[in-house]
Chains A and B, each alone.
Chain A
Amino acid sequence: MGYLASDMTARGTGTATASIRVRLFARYAELVGRTEAAVSVALPATVGDVLRRLRDEVPAARALPERPLAALNLRQVKLDARVEDGDEVALLPPIAGG
């Protein structure tokens, strides 16, 4: 024996899930009416899957663009980037710094 429970779940059944913190900023926060949400996705999953899950669970999030700029753990990524449990996904309106 000696397997961790999480190993058993991931290897045995393929039903491991990831809890993702989603953050919204500026105009997107106003559109959705909140600045963050917690969503769960079945692994393997991508940032795009997180976005789809957010739209399912938070109807106002359907007002967001189809393919928004996204960041994963403080780095810009494409929507096909893989997520892991505990990750932070941010949806970024068009950048307007300076």
Chain B
Amino acid sequence: MPYLTRDPLSVERLVAEVSAPERGGTCVFLGTVRNGPEEQGVTAIEYSAYEAMVEAEFGRLLADAGGRWPQARIAVRHRLGTIPSGEASIAIAVAAPHRAEAFEACRFVIEEVKRRIPVWKKELRVDGTETWVDPSGRPSHV
């Protein structure tokens, strides 16, 4: 199952992939394109990726999560392309027998995505400016 898509994300589909009667806790995380006071008029973010590595790294990441929470089932999709503010760029669904594992595994996956998955974003603003997002330091105007 590919982890990348250019289509809007479906939470229902992800939840269906992990649900089962023996898993009583399901945790869903959605990351959405933000336009708050700090973003100064972000209308959309353009997402790009090293696609082959994203697929390989997600496989390794979910194997790591499976080692820590063997009874959890995890589904994740990352969207690429131009995503308007307010729409989701990533969705994670984790179902486990109990809620603690579901919350912990879901948090682990999004934190590892931020650290390991080679995806980049360029903020597009209402005034026509564009900025590469650099979580490690200052934004770089282009």
Contact = CB atoms under 8 A, between A and B. Distances in A.
Given A25-B50, A96-B133, A97-B78, A71 B118 contact: yes
A75 B134 contact: no
A27 B52 CA distance: 18
Contacts of B136: 94
B13 to A, nearest CB: 19
Given A74-B52, A94-B134, A96-B135, A25 B120 contact: yes
Contacts of B113: 97-98
Contacts of A94: 134-137
B122 interface: yes
A62 to B, nearest CB: 17
A97 B117 contact: yes
Nearest to A94: B136
Interface of A: 23, 25-27, 30, 71, 74-76, 90, 92-98
Interface of B: 31, 48-50, 52-53, 56-57, 78, 89-90, 110, 113-122, 132-137, 140, 142
Given A96-B119, A97-B117, 17 more contacts: A25-B49, A26-B132, A27-B140, A71-B118, A74-B56, A75-B53, A76-B116, A92-B50, A93-B134, A94-B135, A95-B115, A95-B119, A96-B135, A97-B49, A97-B118, A98-B90, A98-B110
Contact of A96 (B116, B134, B142): B134
A27 B142 contact: yes
14 contacts: A23-B50, A25-B118, A27-B120, A27-B140, A27-B142, A71-B53, A74-B52, A90-B53, A94-B135, A95-B119, A95-B120, A97-B49, A97-B90, A98-B117
